[in-house]
Structure 1
């Protein structure tokens, strides 16, 4: 009975962390309006969480060794719960971003340590059952996240998407205090690689800030962008050199000598770009352009997410039967490319049903990439290097997500300017359709009692609003096509490991947010 409660506890903790990666996506517009920030600034609410995960995930093994698994796990749950409450109480966007980052630092342990506990409870003999159970559990988080976020935002207010973590966090903390123990085999604590930690934080933080703020502040015309770029390059260069030369690095980069891991890491990075940017773009497109309410927006993601659970189990069973991970990964890439192509062809008449059907391709593509990429990543590693290789692979997924969102915001902004200029150029006295539309609107408002000048200004305002809406639509559609092209360009990397037909170890399912 205690084992069952422990399993429920740790899966609930993992789901709580995963729900928070997607629950905010459908609330971005509400947050932006309520806090008086731009949508680009509000996207930092997602990015800050991802950056924190990027920093903490590869350090989890190191931290559990030095702090003790029980202490680190319970401390992380408490931190995650506390900063969830602080996110809900934030009164401005940058306070929210700070608390969101700290929430992500606490949440980074919940997935990997929960996973380790599940596999320890079931043991090697029942590894398959543990994989399936944990895999379904972690997929339920992203499945219900957008739907739950939409329902809460529409019927209550956006702070409640964070407050909902408090009762769950308290329950999980109490249960963990009673049931979570140290692992049977204890690993000797290593010296703390403080320089490695510091260089990683400075490098990733600086680079992400450059990517996020570069477009807004005209890139290198801003002095702080230049300074942060130099800091990022120097910090990450020294970080790589430092980690490769010291005996106990916080992240052992030597495992990247494995060709299968190196290729899998790049493909996982691309997968992270596609996964996070698509789930960021879609709610914004649905609400800003199509006018869907938050609940409907969340529900468009639900059918695909449910099917993804079956796709995950199916891909795991194919691997068990000896099907090459490369074939399954190829299929996943093709499905996502189809999703990108179909999304790039939408128009203003798109319905929730059309959006939901397109998102099924995305969800199945991600499901077919999750387990095989993990299997490919560890297939060429020795047993002692598997945990570090898996951690690096997970980090690349989160890194792809945070960089992808920053990149796609910049790309959308540039495409919006180009499309708007093209559309505005068509509004002239020589365009009979445009002049007729303006004249008709002006007459309409004049008939409502407006002065001639006010009526014309009102008409021009509506035309301008329509141009902006069409420009944003075209920019978002370009963004989907851009992501699809990135997947196409990454596919040839599979040829580098095409000859590897090695039987992999029992598969550890890793969450794809």
Structure 2
């Protein structure tokens, strides 16, 4: 009887409703910002802590690994401790770990506290929308989904912008200290206003499943994060980690399919819509995180933009995404098929990737990038909620929660896989293009000769000797070749993600949605 009473929906009203909304959305955005905020500070951290760039890369990897491990466990842990206690404790853990990250005096200490920070942060992301669903009545859930969806897109995008500003104007420690006042306020508000929903755990806890999940997914994430830096399978570390990942994931799948009370119920993948939605969530994660990876690097490295300029151009498209997510939630409630909306969304994202491939040149300016970014924002606005609606269509009770948890995990995993694939692809294409272009620099090529001797004369006019001028001219031409090769390679990176999304899109037609069926998006958490 107690369980029934606890599960009975009681929605919030007035100021309390919006205080809860602001609290959980802020926490989710804060956690997503921290997935990418360190990317712009690796050199400063390495120099300050006396570490190599390779060692500093583990600061990024540690957070991603703990994030992706904890997300599928959040539903299970919420049931054990209660949502109020678990969410508030996660905010506290994230805030304390943020302080200790900023105060770290060694790279080992920073890596450890980043891992702990990721445990708290992953729980914030996975629990936030569940709390929103309990806060808003069904007729207003589109508002919550729109705000939450905008945070999903804006968080990783804003990370490098905020990180760049803090590092440029303060010090690298402030990329972590900035979380502390927000975390303190969020701790107070979450403990005061979030309900203590708690469900009994039936049967034995699947500790073996948790162990296999940590070993399998954790090792896989480590391989994806470190593979390119360590030359993939030429590294014994990557080889051993890959073996552990394969064995761990295989053991996890077998365990979860056989055990009576699995920590992650993979049986929901027998549902065709869940399977299709899982694949689309993976591709969606690739598109979001790779765009955050490629776009800032391109405009800052090759166009000379600063972090603020880079971020301001993205903001309008992110706001468009948030607006459209609310619109899509309303359309689903009115009976519009999620398949139609997903096709529109992925088509726009594919269009963005292909357009960017052609526009990514050394002479492109803000307006060349603004409209493609708006197309990207439009596409993302038509993906998040409809994919969740398609994936959760027809599910009830615990199956709905399990499928939603899988969706969150796969979106993050898609980002890791996408960045690993794209980074490797861009690096190898750079070598190919550089070799092709360097072959054009020859004494037998009139154009390269003219360019070379023009540079020699320019350097001589600055007072350099003939030998110095020739060396500087050769270096300048080689640098120009490398830059051009890099620009072409990054442009092809955008094209690669477009092709992957294009390959995944036909899976939509395998989903089964009854004509006129109203999809309940209140379970998209």
Q: Is 2:415 the partner of 1:401?
A: yes
Aligned equivalents of 2:365 and 2:111: distance in 1?
A: 33
Residue of structure 1 in register with 2:348 after alignment: 335
| 1:366 corresponds to 2:389 | no
Q: CA–CA distance in 2 between the matches of 1:35 and 1:287?
A: 25
From 169, 173, 179, the equivalent of 2:193 is: 179
1:136-191 alpha-carbon deviations (Å, 9 max, x no partner)? 666664575555444434433443232211100011112233333411x6333653
Equivalences for 1:121-200 in 2 at 5 Å? 121-124=135-138, 127-128=141-142, 130-132=144-146, 134-135=148-149, 141=155, 145=159, 147-183=161-197, 186-188=199-201, 191-200=204-213
Q: Which moved more, 1:130-139 or 1:446-455?
A: 130-139
Paired position in structure 2 for 1:255 = 268
Structure 2 segments unaligned to the other structure (5+ residues): 1-14
Q: TM-score scaled to structure 2, two decimals?
A: 0.89
Contact 1:131 1:509 in 2 (8 A): no
Aligned-residue CA RMSD in angstroms?
Answer: 2.8
Tell me whether 163-172 or 93-102 shows the greater mean CA deviation: 93-102
1:104 aligned residue (118, 133, 137): 118
Answering whether residue 434 of structure 2 is matched by residue 420 of structure 1, we say yes
The equivalent of 1:436 in structure 2 is 450
Partner SS for 1:426: coil
The 10-residue stretch of structure 1 (257-266 or 374-383) with the greater mean CA deviation from structure 2: 374-383
Cα shift at 1:399: 0.8
Q: Measure, in 2, the Cα distance between the counterparts of 1:262 and 1:58.
A: 16
1:377 alignment partner in structure 2: 391
Answer yes or no: is 1:15 the counterpart of 2:44: no
Alignment of 1:112-127 (within 5 A): 112-124=126-138, 127=141
Deviation (angstroms), 1:301:
1.0
Q: For structure 1, which segment, 368-377 or 420-429, has the greater mean C-alpha deviation from structure 2 after superposition?
A: 420-429
* Offset of residue 510 of structure 1: 5.3
Shift of 1:489: 0.7
Give, in whole Å, the separation in 2 of the partners of 1:38 and 1:289. Answer: 25
Correspondences of 1:285-296 after superposition (within 5 Å): 285-296=298-309
Instruction: Look up the SS of the partner of 2:476 in the other structure.
Output: helix
Distance 1:125 1:290, change over 3 A: closer
Instruction: Give the whole-Å Cα distance in 2 for the aligned partners of 1:320 and 1:123.
Output: 13
State yes or no: 1:220 paired with 2:233.
yes
1:6 deviation in Å? 3.4
Moved more, 488-497 or 139-148: 139-148
- Relative to structure 1, the CA distance from residue 149 to residue 360 in structure 2 (aligned partners, 3 Å threshold; closer, same or farther) is farther
Partner of residue 83, structure 2: 69
The 1:176/1:237 distance shift into structure 2, 3 A limit, reads same
Work out the CA distance in 1 between the residues paired with 2:59 and 2:138: 39
Counterparts of 1:96 and 1:370, CA distance in 2: 33
Describe the SS at the equivalent of 1:508: helix
What displacement does 1:44 show?
Answer: 5.7
Q: Which moved more, 1:204-213 or 1:428-437?
A: 204-213
Aligned residues: 510
Distance 2:302 2:26 in 1: 35
Question: Residues 418 and 30 (structure 1 numbering): CA distance in 2 closer, same or farther, change over 3 Å?
Answer: farther
- Distance in 1 (CA, whole Å) between partners of 2:283 and 2:311 is 24
> CA 1:450–1:4 in 2, change beyond 3 Å: closer, same or farther?
closer
CA apart distance, 1:287: 0.8
1:246 counterpart residue number: 259
Which stretch shows the higher mean deviation, 136-145 or 108-117? Answer: 136-145
The answer on whether the counterparts of 1:287 and 1:293 sit within 8 Å (CA) in structure 2 is yes
Query: Using a 3 Å threshold, how does the CA distance of structure 1 residues 50 and 227 change in structure 2: closer, same or farther?
Result: closer
* Distance in 1 of aligned mates of 2:145 and 2:202: 28
Change (3 A) 1:164 1:509: farther
Q: What does the per-residue CA deviation read over 1:396-439, in whole Å, with 9 as the maximum and x for residues that have no partner? A: 11110111111211111111111111111111111222222222
Once residues 454 and 245 of structure 2 are traced to their aligned partners in structure 1, the CA distance between those partners, rounded to angstroms, is 55
Contact 2:293 2:419 in 1 (8 A): yes
Q: Tell me, yes or no, if the aligned pair for 2:294 and 2:490 is still in contact at 8 Å.
A: yes
* Equivalent runs, 1:230-309 vs 2, <5 Å: 230-309=243-322
Moved more, 142-151 or 237-246: 142-151
The answer to whether the Cα contact below 8 Å between 1:52 and 1:101 also exists between their aligned partners in 2 is yes
